[in-house]
Amino acid sequence: MPDTADSDAFIAGLPKAELHLHIEGSLEPEQMFAFARRNRIQIPFASVEQLRAAYSFTQLQDFLDIYYQGADVLRTEEDFHDLALAYFTRAHADGVVHAEIFFDPQTHTDRGLPFGVAADGLLAGMKTAEERFGITSKLILCFLRHLDEAAAFATLQAAEPWLDRIAAVGLDSSEVGHPPEKFARVFAAAGAAGLKRVAHAGEEGPPAYVLEALDLLHIDRLDHGNRALESPELVTRLARSGIALTVCPLSNLKLCVVGDVAQHPIPAMLKHGLRATINSDDPAYFGGYVADNYRAVAPYLDRRDLVTLARNSFLGSFLPDDAVTRHLAAVDAFAA
Ligand code: HPA
Ligand code: ZN
């Protein structure tokens, strides 16, 4: 790579889409305290510093425990609107022109909020962001895989009045012990309702979970997918299919999916011809937004790879073809 300042500016300026972002994971400690104050809720941390100090994880579950606890400060549509707008403000500064964001409705309905509080608040925040920054976005409803199939079906039913404003269903939370197969029927129902399908697989779970996500959930995009690299047959299949992988370097480091950034699989994924993309996952918890994630792996890539990653983000999006073509032209113009 050329020098760091030059590379930083190139990364921030590169037009890009973000395809793997849990909006609840963009809740910054300062904002958590502000929402707690506004909603008159006690949180079990004395200061922002003490809260940040708790963000030390050795596996996915350590993070999930604190992430679900943090989400409890979100109580009103205004909270969700403000949460989304704060994310889009940071994403805009990082060159994001389109984002497809996850939300976890069960985290909110299970503590008594009606489905529409999160959904309407987020949709309002997405609209404000488009008016203010020109960023387009789509909303993805994630089922929590540690809960059962009936709960996922109940969530899909609760979402019925909003399905024209929801692009896809996803699958997140504790992966190991909760294989994709558990949700085959609810994913089939979502597909029949016209929704796209994505799933977290191969973050901590084995390559067999990636296969199940492909064959039983019929996913249109694979979230993480790191452990697919353990199976040469799977790598060949993923490369041939052109399916996008939404990879999250800083998340992988924080959750110890990868021991060292020098071992991060992004360069190998590109070498194998996989349609890999770079994303931030839960930026408030993992130490960086999308440009920081590009910067983390940039020392192991050349400038052409960075352009490929940005192009992949649009090719892997659920945007219509004409919009994809327009964004690809903008990437190429920037790179030239
Ligand atoms: N993995 C699984 N579930 C999640 C994640 C993740 O990285 N972030 C938020 N929910
Ligand atoms: Zn994720």
Above 90 in pLDDT, residue 3? no
Total of domains in the chain: 1
- Domain around 17: 4-335
| CA angle at 284 for the pair 25 and 95, rounded to the nearest 5° | 95
Q: Are 29 and 284 in contact, with CB atoms under 8 Å apart? A: yes
Which ligand ends up closest to the CA of 251? 1
**Ligand 1 atom nearest residue 104's Cα:** 10
| Catalytic positions | 203
**Looking at ligand 1, which residue's alpha carbon is closest to its atom 3?**
173
Tell me which residue has tokens 């070498």. Answer: 271
Residues 6+ apart with CB under 8 A from 108: 71, 74, 115, 117, 118
Question: What is the per-residue pLDDT across 179-236, written as a single tens digit (0 to 9) for each?
Answer: 999 999 999 999 999 999 999 999 999 999 999 999 999 999 999 999 999 999 999 9
Q: Is the pLDDT of residue 114 over 90?
A: yes
CB of 283 closer than 6 angstroms to any ligand 1 atom: no
Q: What is the pLDDT of residues 252-302, one digit of tens each?
A: 999 999 999 999 999 999 999 999 999 999 999 999 999 999 999 999 999
Task: Find the mean pLDDT for residues 231-250.
Answer: 98
C-alpha 20 – ligand 2 centre gap (Å): 6
Cβ of 282 below 6 Å from ligand 1: yes
Beta bridge partners of 103: 141
From the CA of 106, the nearest ligand is: 1
For residue range 17-53, list pLDDT tens digits in order.
999 999 999 999 999 999 999 999 999 999 999 999 9
73: nearest Cα among 33, 121, 22, 125? 33
**Which of 22, 198, 203, 255 to mutate to test ligand 1, by most ligand atoms within 8 A of the CB atom?**
22
* Structure confidence by residue, pLDDT tens digits, 54-78: 999 999 999 999 999 999 999 999 9
Residue 2, pLDDT above cutoff 70 = no
CATH number at residue 76: 3.20.20.140
| pLDDT for residue 4 is more than 80 | no
